[in-house]
C-alpha cells in the first residue's frame, strides 16, 4: 500500500487560460465541413457536379438567352417558327409577362379603378411592416388596425359601391390580388379560430370538446378541393332562397375553415408541450381561465409552434391556387389562362415563362414568411438558456 | 404533551360548542376530509386546524400524500368528502370561492413554476395587475420591494432561465408575496436545489415566519422545522399519524412509523 497517494493538497490554483486557437482559414473550414468523411466527400462531389450541370442551363434560359422586349409572339419565335431567332433557340419570353403583368396582378379589375387595389396594398404594407419589426412600439394598436380596421377599409376600397366608389364585382377580381385576399383572410381567421378550436379540444366541457373534435376531424378528413366545392355549391343550400352568396366569399369561408382545422392541431401540439406546473403556477396565483390561457399558456405554446404555424400559412398561401377549380382566377389561374387563351403570345416558350414567373412570385412570399419565422424564433427564445 | 391546536375528533366537537374562537383566528380548518384518485384512497380522514400565524411543517415518506394535502388547501386538487375551510371560505365547486381562496393563499412549488417567457419583474407583477387590478406602477413598486427582501432586486429584468435554482425559488416566493397572501403553502421548496442554495431559500422562509406569516411547509429540512415550526405533522399512507411540537416530535416520537421514519432521515 502506498499511503502517500491518498493524500494530496493543491498548493496553487490554476488560473483560467485562453482556449487553444482552432485552425482557421478556408482550407481548414472546408476540410471540417466538406470532406470530413468519405461519405461527406462523396456528397460534396455530387453536389458540385449537380450545380455545375444545372446552374448554367437555368441561368442562360432565365437571363442570358432570354428575350426582354417585344410587342407580340414574333419576338420569341425562331426563324423556323416564323420569327427571327436562330433555330434551336430556347429562353424565357419576358415580354409576355410584362405585357400581361396588370392582368396577373389585378385580373379583370377595371383599369381606371386599379389605384384602389394599389392603395389597399400600400395601406397593408404600411401596417404590416411596423407590426413585424419588434422595436416599433404600439403593437396592440397596430394589431387592432391591421386585423380590425384594415379589413373594413379594404372591403370598402376593393368592392366599392359606397362613398362614390364604383362597385367592382368580385367576379372581376383576379391575379395576385385574389391570392393575397384569400391568404390574408385565411391567416387572419385561422389563427384565432385555430386557437379557440385547440382550447375547445382540450376543454373539460364535453359538449365544447365534442364539437371541436367533430369540426377538426371532419375538415381534416377531406381535401381542400372538396371543401371548396362544398363551399361553392353546398353552402347556398343552407341559406334561405333568394339570399345570394358571393362566390369569393364562399371560397374565403372554405379556405378559412380548412386552415383553422389544421391550425388547431398545430396549436394543440404546442399546448401539450406546456408542463402542468405552468397551469398550477397560474392557478395558485388566482388567475382565471382566460387569463391563464392568454397570458401564460398560449404565449409559450404559440412560441413553440412558430415553425408549424408558418408552415400552415405557407401551405394556405399555396393552396389558394385551388380556387381555380371553382372558376376563380388567382395568380396561377390568370397566368394559366393567359398561356392558353391568348393567341398574341402563343409561342413554345410562353408556358414555361409564365409558370417560372408564377413560381418566382410564390417563392418570394413563402421564403419571406419562412425567414421571418426563423428570425422570430431566435428572438423569442428566452427560456432555459442555462 | 397536549398541543392546543392538535385537533382530534372529540376536540373538534368541543371547539364547535365554544364559539369564542372567532373565524378570523382560524386560518385553515380541515374536517374529516377524504380524497381519492380514481379508486386510490390517497387522503383518509384528515382533521387539521391551523391558527393564524401558526407555522406547520408536514413530513412523511414519499407518496404519503403530503403534496396532495396542501394542494387541496388551494384547490389544485379536489377533495371528495369532508370540509376544507380557508379563511372562513369553504372550498366547494363554486369557482368564485375558489378564486377568493387562491388570491389569499400563496404557493411555492418544488420546481418553482416560474413563467419562463416573462421577466422576473413581470412574473411578480402579473397576478397583482390582472387579478387584484393593481395599477402597473404600484405593482412594480411592490414587486421590487419583495425582490429586495429576497435579495435579488438586481435580477428584475432577467428571465427565469438565466437564474440559478436558489434564485428562481426566491423569485417564486416573492411572486407569491406580491399577492399579499394571508397563508403560504410550500411544497418541498428546497428539494430540487443544489446543497449550497438550500440555505438562501430557507433563510427567506425563516424571515417570513418571523414576521408572523401563517405557513404550511412540506419539507424534510429538520433544522428548519426545529427552528420555526409550532407543530410538526407526520403523515403516512394518506393519514396524519402523529403531530407534536418540534422538540417533542424529534426527541420523543410516539408512533412506531414516526420512529422508523425519523431513524431513516436522521441516521
Ligand atoms: N394525479 C394523480 N393521479 C393518481 N395518483 C396520484 C396523482 N398524484 C399523486 N398520486 C399518488 O398519490 C399518492 C400521494 O402523492 P403525493 O401527495 O404526491 O405524495 P408526497 O407528496 O407525500 O410524496 C402517491 O402514491 C401518488 O402516486
Ligand atoms: Mg410531494
Q: Judge whether A203 lies within some domain.
A: yes
Q: How far apart are CA A298 and CA A301, in angstroms?
A: 5
Ligand 2 mean position, distance from CA A276 (Å): 15
Ligand 2 mean position, distance from CA B239 (Å): 14
Instruction: Say if residue A211 is in the same domain as residue A233.
Output: yes
Residue owning grid cell 420512529: B259
pLDDT of residue A3: 58
pLDDT of residue B24: 58
Q: Judge whether A155 lies within some domain.
A: yes
Nearest CA distance, A16 vs chain B (angstrom):
22
Instruction: Say if residue A272 is in the same domain as residue A375.
Output: yes
Answer whether residue B153 shows pLDDT above 60. Answer: yes
Instruction: Say if residue A200 is in the same domain as residue A160.
Output: no
Answer whether residue B64 shows pLDDT above 90. Answer: yes
CATH code of residue A193? 1.10.3720.10
Ligand 2 mean position, distance from CA B102 (Å): 20
Q: Judge whether A48 lies within some domain.
A: no
pLDDT of residue B28: 93
Domain end call among A140, A173, A206: A173
* CA angle in degrees (0–180, nearest 5) for A329-A331-A332: 85
Find the radius of gyration of the CA atoms of chain B.
19
pLDDT of residue A236: 74
Task: Check CB contact of B126 with chain A, cutoff 8 Å.
Answer: yes
> Per-10-residue mean pLDDT for chain A, 386 residues long?
70 81 72 83 91 90 82 80 79 84 88 88 91 84 88 87 83 88 90 93 90 91 86 76 77 88 93 94 93 93 87 87 83 86 81 89 90 85 57
Per-residue pLDDT of A249-306, as tens digits, reads 888 888 898 999 999 999 999 999 999 999 999 999 999 999 999 999 999 998 888 8
Per the structure, how many domains does chain A have?
A: 2
Q: Judge whether A219 lies within some domain.
A: yes
Ligand 1 mean position, distance from CA B249 (Å): 25
Give the closest residue (by CA) to ligand 1 atom 25. Answer: B63
Q: Do A280 and B113 touch (CB under 8 A)?
A: yes
Instruction: Say if residue A351 is in the same domain as residue A293.
Output: yes
Answer whether residue B80 shows pLDDT above 80. Answer: yes
Answer whether residue B240 shows pLDDT above 90. Answer: yes
Which residues in A117-137 are b (16+ Cβ under 10 Å) and which e? Answer: beebeebbeebeebeeeeeee
| B35, B68, B109: residue to mutate for ligand 1 pocket, most atoms within 8 A of CB | B68
Q: Do B127 and A280 touch (CB under 8 A)?
A: no
pLDDT of residue A324: 84
pLDDT of residue B171: 94
Instruction: Say if residue A258 is in the same domain as residue A207.
Output: yes
Answer whether residue B14 shows pLDDT above 50. Answer: no
Domain end call among A128, A152, A173: A173
pLDDT of residue B225: 92
Task: Check CB contact of B171 with chain A, cutoff 8 Å.
Answer: no
What would the mean pLDDT of B97-118 be, rounded to a whole number?
A: 93
Instruction: Say if residue A186 is in the same domain as residue A314.
Output: yes
What would the mean pLDDT of B119-138 be, rounded to a whole number?
A: 94
Range of the domain at A167: 101-173
Instruction: Say if residue A168 is in the same domain as residue A229.
Output: no
Judging contacts by C-beta atoms under 8 Å, the chain A residues touching residue B143 are none
C-alpha cell at position A111: 383599369
Answer whether residue B8 shows pLDDT above 70. Answer: no
Q: Judge whether A292 lies within some domain.
A: yes
Q: How far apart are CA B169 and CA B122, in angstroms?
A: 15
Nearest CA distance, B128 vs chain A (angstrom):
9
Answer whether residue B157 shows pLDDT above 60. Answer: yes
Q: How many helices (H) and strands (E) does chain A have?
A: 17, 0
User: Pairing relation of β-strands B55-59 and B231-236?
Assistant: parallel
Domain end call among A173, A201, A226: A173
Answer whether residue B11 shows pLDDT above 50. Answer: no
Instruction: Say if residue A205 is in the same domain as residue A290.
Output: yes
Q: Tell me, using a 6 A CB cutoff, whether residue B67 lines ligand 1.
A: yes
Of chain B, the percentage scoring pLDDT greater than 70 comes to 91
Answer whether residue B6 shows pLDDT above 70. Answer: no
What would the mean pLDDT of B107-120 be, rounded to a whole number?
A: 94
Instruction: Say if residue A260 is in the same domain as residue A316.
Output: yes
pLDDT of residue A108: 86
Answer whether residue B265 shows pLDDT above 70. Answer: yes
| Contact criterion met (CB below 8 Å) for A57 and A309 | no
Instruction: Say if residue A229 is in the same domain as residue A354.
Output: yes
pLDDT of residue B13: 42
| Contact criterion met (CB below 8 Å) for A76 and A93 | yes
Residue (of A306, A310, A308, A301) closest to A273 by Cα position: A301
Q: Judge whether A85 lies within some domain.
A: no
Instruction: Say if residue A186 is in the same domain as residue A316.
Output: yes
Instruction: Say if residue A298 is in the same domain as residue A203.
Output: yes
**Rounded to a whole number, what is the distance in angstroms from the first to the last CA of chain B?**
25
Q: Judge whether A54 lies within some domain.
A: no
Q: How far apart are CA A348 and CA A93, in angstroms?
A: 9
pLDDT of residue A126: 92
Q: Judge whether A334 lies within some domain.
A: no
Q: What ipTM was estimated for this complex?
A: 0.88
Answer whether residue B22 shows pLDDT above 50. Answer: no
Q: What is the pTM of this model?
A: 0.81
Answer whether residue B127 shows pLDDT above 90. Answer: yes
Q: Tell me, using a 6 A CB cutoff, whether residue B32 lines ligand 1.
A: no
Amino acid at each position: 500500500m502506498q499511503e502517500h497517494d491518498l493524500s494530496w493538497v493543491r498548493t496553487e490554483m490554476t488560473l483560467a487560460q485562453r482556449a487553444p486557437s482552432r485552425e482557421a482559414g478556408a482550407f481548414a473550414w472546408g476540410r471540417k465541413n466538406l470532406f470530413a468523411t468519405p461519405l461527406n466527400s462523396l456528397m460534396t462531389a455530387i453536389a458540385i457536379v449537380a450545380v455545375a450541370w444545372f446552374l448554367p442551363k437555368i441561368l442562360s434560359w432565365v437571363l442570358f438567352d432570354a428575350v426582354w422586349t417585344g410587342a407580340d409572339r414574333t419576338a420569341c419565335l425562331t426563324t423556323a417558327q416564323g420569327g427571327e431567332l436562330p433555330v434551336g433557340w430556347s429562353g424565357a419570353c419576358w415580354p409576355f409577362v410584362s405585357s400581361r403583368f396588370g392582368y396577373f396582378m389585378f385580373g379583370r379589375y377595371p383599369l381606371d379603378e386599379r389605384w384602389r387595389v394599389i392603395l389597399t396594398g400600400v395601406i397593408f404594407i404600411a401596417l404590416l411592416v411596423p407590426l413585424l419589426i419588434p422595436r416599433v412600439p404600439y403593437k396592440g394598436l397596430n394589431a387592432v388596425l391591421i386585423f380590425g380596421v384594415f379589413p373594413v377599409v379594404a372591403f370598402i376600397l376593393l368592392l366599392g359601391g359606397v362613398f362614390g366608389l364604383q362597385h367592382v364585382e368580385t367576379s372581376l377580381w383576379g391575379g395576385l390580388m385574389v391570392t393575397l385576399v384569400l391568404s390574408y383572410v385565411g391567416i387572419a381567421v385561422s389563427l384565432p379560430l385555430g386557437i379557440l378550436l385547440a382550447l375547445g379540444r382540450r376543454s373539460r366541457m364535453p359538449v365544447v370538446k365534442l364539437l371541436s373534435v367533430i369540426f377538426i376531424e371532419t375538415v381534416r378528413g377531406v381535401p381542400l378541393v372538396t371543401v371548396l366545392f362544398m363551399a361553392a355549391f353546398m353552402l347556398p343550400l343552407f341559406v334561405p332562397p333568394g339570399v345570394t352568396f358571393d362566390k369569393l366569399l364562399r371560397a374565403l369561408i372554405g379556405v378559412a375553415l380548412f386552415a383553422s382545422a389544421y391550425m388547431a392541431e398545430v396549436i394543440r401540439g404546442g399546448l401539450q408541450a406546456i408542463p402542468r406546473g405552468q397551469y398550477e403556477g397560474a392557478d395558485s396565483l388566482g388567475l382565471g381561465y382566460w387569463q391563464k390561457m392568454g397570458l401564460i399558456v398560449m404565449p409559450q405554446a404559440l412560441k413553440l409552434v412558430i415553425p408549424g404555424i408558418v408552415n400552415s400559412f405557407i401551405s394556405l398561401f399555396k393552396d389558394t391556387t385551388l380556387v381555380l377549380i371553382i372558376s376563380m382566377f388567382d395568380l396561377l389561374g390568370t397566368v394559366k389562362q393567359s398561356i392558353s387563351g391568348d393567341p398574341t403570345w402563343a409561342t413554345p416558350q410562353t408556358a414555361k415563362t409564365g409558370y417560372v414567373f408564377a413560381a418566382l412570385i410564390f417563392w418570394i412570399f413563402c421564403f419571406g414568411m419562412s425567414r421571418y419565422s426563423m428570425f422570430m424564433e431566435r428572438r423569442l427564445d428566452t427560456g432555459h438558456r442555462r | 404533551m397536549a398541543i392546543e391546536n392538535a385537533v382530534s375528533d372529540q376536540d373538534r366537537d368541543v371547539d364547535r360548542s365554544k364559539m369564542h374562537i372567532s373565524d378570523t383566528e382560524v386560518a385553515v380548518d380541515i374536517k374529516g376530509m377524504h380524497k381519492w384518485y380514481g379508486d386510490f384512497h390517497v387522503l383518509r380522514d384528515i382533521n387539521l386546524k391551523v391558527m393564524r400565524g401558526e407555522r406547520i411543517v408536514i413530513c412523511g415518506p414519499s407518496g404519503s400524500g403530503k403534496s396532495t394535502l396542501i394542494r387541496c388547501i388551494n384547490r389544485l386538487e379536489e377533495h371528495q368528502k369532508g370540509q376544507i375551510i380557508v379563511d372562513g371560505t369553504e372550498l366547494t365547486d363554486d369557482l368564485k370561492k375558489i378564486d377568493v381562496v387562491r388570491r389569499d393563499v400563496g404557493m411555492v412549488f418544488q420546481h418553482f413554476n416560474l413563467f419562463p417567457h416573462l421577466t422576473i419583474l413581470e412574473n411578480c407583477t402579473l397576478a397583482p395587475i390582472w387579478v387584484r387590478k393593481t395599477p402597473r406602477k404600484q405593482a412594480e413598486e411592490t414587486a421590487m420591494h419583495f425582490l429586495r427582501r429576497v435579495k435579488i432586486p438586481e435580477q428584475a429584468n432577467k428571465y427565469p432561465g438565466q437564474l440559478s435554482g436558489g434564485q428562481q425559488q426566491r423569485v417564486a416566493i416573492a411572486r407569491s408575496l406580491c399577492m399579499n397572501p394571508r397563508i403560504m403553502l410550500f411544497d418541498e421548496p428546497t428539494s430540487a436545489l443544489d446543497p449550497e442554495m438550500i440555505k438562501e431559500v430557507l433563510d427567506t422562509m425563516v424571515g417570513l415566519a418571523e414576521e408572523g406569516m401563517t405557513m404550511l411547509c412540506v419539507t424534510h429540512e429538520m433544522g428548519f422545522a426545529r427552528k420555526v415550526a409550532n407543530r410538526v405533522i407526520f403523515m403516512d399512507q394518506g393519514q396524519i399519524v402523529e403531530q407534536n411540537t418540534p422538540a417533542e416530535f424529534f426527541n420523543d416520537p410516539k408512533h412506531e412509523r414516526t420512529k422508523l421514519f425519523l431513524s431513516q432521515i436522521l441516521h
